[in-house]
Every structure is written in C-alpha cells, then in structure tokens.
C-alpha cells in the first residue's frame, strides 16, 4: 500500500552556519498544523557548517525531526541545487505540508519546486490553519496591496506549499526537554547543479537591523524636505534599536537607497511597531505596512491618511517633535546608566 502524505515540513534558513529567525517562526506555524493533523513536524536544513547545537535549537522550538543536508557547496543559496535536493526529499518522503519563509530565498526556491513537483503554492501568507473534516491547509494572505485577505486551498495536490511572511508569528519558547531525531543526508555530486556559481556576498550597511525581519522600523518621507535631514530618522532609529525605512518619495529623491523602500514597489513588512515620520501614507505605502502590529505616525498634516491607520499619532512639526523624543530617550538612558532609573 502506498503511504499517504503525512508530515508537516518547514524550511530552515541559515547564513554562515547559523539559523535565521524565520526558521523558528515557521516551526511555530508548523507545530500548530502538525498538532491539528496529529503528525510529526520536520525542519529541513540545507547549508554548510551548521552544527548540532543549531539542530537541537530546532527541536527545542518544536521540530520532531531535522533533516540536515550539509556541504561546502551549499553554503550560499543557489535555487537549482536547493530545488534538486528538496524535490528528491519531497518525492521520497511525501510531506503533506511544506512551508518556507517569504524571504528572497523562499520566494525563489518554493515556486521553482512547486512547478517541479506539480503542486500549488501560496505566497506571503499571514495566516495558516487546518480545515476541519478535510484536513486541508487553509492559507490566508493579503492581496491587491493588502486591500483584501484571500484564503486559498490546494485541495488535490501534495505537498500543500506556502511561503510565510517573516515575523507573522513569534517562535515558541524553547523547550530544552523536547527530544527529536536528526537525519543526516549525504550529498552526492548528482545533487549539485553546476550551472549557477556564487561569486560572493557583498554585505550592505543596514543601520544595524535588516528591514524585513526588524521588530521596530522608523521610516522617513517627503516631510523631511532634504536628504541631509534623514539623519533625524537614522538617529531616532539608532536610539530605539530600529531599522530604517523610507517612502518611495524619499528613495526617488535619492535621500536613501532602494533597499530601505517600504510599500507596494518596495518591501512589505510586519514589524511590531512602524514609526512613520513625515510620511503622508499613500495607498501604495500603506499596502507595505498594513500588517504591522502597531503603527505610529508623526506628521504636520492632520488630514494625512497615515493617521487613519495609526494606533498613535502626533500632529506636529517633525523637526520639533523628533529632537524632543530623542532628548527624552537620552535622559532615560543616562538615568539607567547611573542605576537610578
């Protein structure tokens, strides 16, 4: 008898042998689904030099099994090779659900794999559940610039695949008493696609935090009036330990580089707090921030659309407001440093 598709799988991501936060966030989603389906949860780690300690972290965060595929040739993401490995794993183990992060890796690799294994894939999900009765995966995602939420099913193909927006769920608290199995799968030359070669990675200064996975984002827009005023945004971001974002207007004026752009033609992000400074909030911009947990707006125009979506707003001149906020932050920091806070 043919075994029926069963396990829930998540794709771990690593850089330099260390697992990225998305790996653990996916396990939280995966754990919920696996519990509802009463099936094991497995995490797939493709990379180089990832040590056992990292696999144990995956288990502590909810994985029952870890499939490890390690080789120096797998250290940096190459779609064709990673896809070859995943397709062969999927064909031999037939998972019911396969989740990846809606990251540059996941959003490249999963569509490639979905075509190869002939199954459906839903992009950038912010909600996942199991349909009662059928056991089908219900995949919810924002569409048309976040103006609608669509729920999507893959009824007749397996695995049911989805990419999941980073930060859409926090990792579970690690439970060090959890036990799991680690499968080390040897890599042979057949699994390596020689066509694309990685030449190197040029790290970009990202003001300490990367936008996509940042918990806090401070973003600046047209209201800053001049490029050099962007230092106000960078300063506040630094004080708060936040990443720096920008509206399209600010990027188009050359005040800051494109990787910082938030909105329909930039990044779609879900930080715990998004602080919009001098950003009026066009539909395109709002589309990129709607799934933020909280939104703070600082703008001199009380009719700016950004206030409609803000949980907290300051109607005022940003050139007055930001320095005062920074001064308050500085005072608190000094108090704490002197131990009398």
Partner 1 sequence: MRIVVPIKQVPDTAKVKLDPETGTMIRSEADAVTNPLDLYALEAALRLKETYGGKITVLSMGPKSCFRMLKEALAMGCDEAFLLSDKAFAGADTWATSYTLATAIRKSLEYDLVLTGERATDGDTGQVGPGIAAWLDIPVATYVSRIRTFDGKRFEVARLTEEGYQWVSIPTPCVLTVVKEIAIPRLPTLKGILRARSQEIPTKTKESFPFQVEYLGLKGSPTRVVKIETPQIARQGKKIVVKNEEDLTMAATEFLRFLEERNLY
Find the binding residues for partner 1 in span 62-91 (CB under 8 A).
76-80, 83
Binding-site size for partner 1 (CB under 8 A) equals 103
Q: Which of 52, 317, 330, 335 binds partner 1 (CB under 8 A)?
A: 317
Listing DSSP states for 80-119 in one string gives: HHHHHHHHHHHHHH--SEEEEESSTTHHHHHHHHHHHTT-
Q: How far is the CB of 73 from partner 1 (least distance, A)?
A: 14
Nearer to partner 1, 91 or 184 (CB): 91
- First vs last C-alpha separation in the chain: 68
Residue burial 100-132, b: 16+ Cβ < 10 Å; e: rest: bbbbebbebbbbbbbeebebbbbbbbbbbebee
Applying CB under 8 A, among 193, 235, 238, 319 the residue interacting with partner 1 is 193
- Looking at beta carbons only, is 40 or 111 nearer to partner 1? 111
**Contacting range for partner 1; rule: CB under 8 A; set: 54-62, 167-175, 223-231, 258-266:** 258-266
Scan residues 83-142 and list those touching partner 1 (CB under 8 A): 83, 103-105, 107-116, 118-124, 138, 142
Judged by CB, which is closer to partner 1: 59, or 125?
A: 125
Distance CA 228, CA 230 (A): 5
Residue placing its CB nearer to partner 1 in the complex, 52 or 293: 293
Contacting residue, 72, 186, 200, 254, with partner 1 by CB under 8 A: 200
Q: Closest Cα partner for 256 from 235, 229, 276, 287?
A: 229
* C-alpha torsion sign, points 94, 97, 101, 106: positive
Question: In terms of CB distance, is 172 or 182 closer to partner 1?
Answer: 172
Q: Closer to partner 1 at the Cβ: 59 or 237?
A: 237
Instruction: Map residues 209-228 to x or -, x wherever contact with partner 1 holds by CB under 8 A.
Output: -x-xx-xx------------
How would you class 145 by CB atoms within 10 Å of its CB: exposed for 0-12, middle for 13-18, buried for 19 or more? middle
Q: Which of 74, 235, 90 is nearest to 158 (CA)?
A: 90
Residue 301's contacts (CB-CB under 8 Å, 6 or more residues apart) are: 280, 315
Q: Does 181 bind partner 1 (CB under 8 A)?
A: no
Give the whole-angstrom CA distance, residue 261 versus residue 38: 42
- Contacting range for partner 1; rule: CB under 8 A; set: 1-9, 35-43, 168-176, 205-213: 205-213
Query: Contacts with partner 1 in 135-174 (CB under 8 A)?
Result: 138, 142-157
Site stretch for partner 1 (CB under 8 A), options 27-35, 49-57, 92-100, 193-201 = 193-201
We find the least distance from the C-beta atom of residue 105 to partner 1, in angstroms, to be: 7
């Amino acid at each position: 008898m043919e075994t029926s598709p069963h396990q829930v799988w998540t794709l771990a991501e690593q850089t330099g042998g260390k697992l990225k936060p998305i790996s653990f966030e996916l396990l939280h989603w995966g754990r919920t689904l696996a519990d509802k389906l009463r099936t094991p949860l497995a995490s797939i780690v493709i990379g180089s030099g990832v040590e056992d300690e990292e696999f144990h972290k995956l288990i502590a965060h909810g994985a029952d099994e870890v499939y490890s595929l390690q080789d120096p040739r797998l250290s940096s993401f190459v779609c064709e090779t990673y896809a070859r490995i995943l397709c062969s794993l999927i064909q031999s183990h037939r998972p019911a659900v396969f989740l990846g992060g809606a990251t540059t890796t996941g959003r490249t690799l999963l569509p490639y794999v979905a075509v190869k294994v002939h199954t459906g894939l839903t992009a950038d999900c912010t909600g996942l559940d199991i349909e009662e009765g059928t056991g089908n995966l219900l995949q919810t995602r924002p569409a048309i610039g976040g103006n609608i939420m669509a729920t999507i099913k893959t009824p007749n193909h397996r695995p049911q695949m989805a990419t999941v927006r980073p930060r859409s769920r926090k990792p579970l608290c690690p439970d060090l008493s959890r036990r799991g199995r680690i499968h080390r799968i040897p890599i042979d030359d057949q699994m390596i696609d020689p066509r694309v070669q990685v030449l190197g990675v040029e790290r970009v200064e990202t003001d300490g935090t990367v936008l996509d996975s940042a918990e806090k984002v401070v973003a600046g827009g047209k209201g800053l009036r001049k490029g050099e005023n962007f230092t106000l945004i960078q300063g506040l971001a630094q004080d708060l330990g936040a990443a720096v974002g920008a509206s399209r207007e600010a990027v188009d004026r050359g005040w800051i580089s494109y990787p910082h752009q938030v909105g329909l033609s930039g990044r779609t992000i879900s930080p715990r707090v998004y602080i919009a400074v001098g950003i009026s909030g066009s539909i395109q911009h709002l589309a990129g921030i709607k799934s933020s947990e909280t939104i703070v707006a600082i703008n001199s125009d009380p009719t700016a659309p950004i206030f409609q979506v803000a949980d907290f707003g300051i109607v005022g001149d940003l050139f007055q407001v930001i320095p005062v906020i920074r001064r308050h932050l500085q005072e608190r920091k000094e108090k704490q440093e002197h131990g009398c806070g």
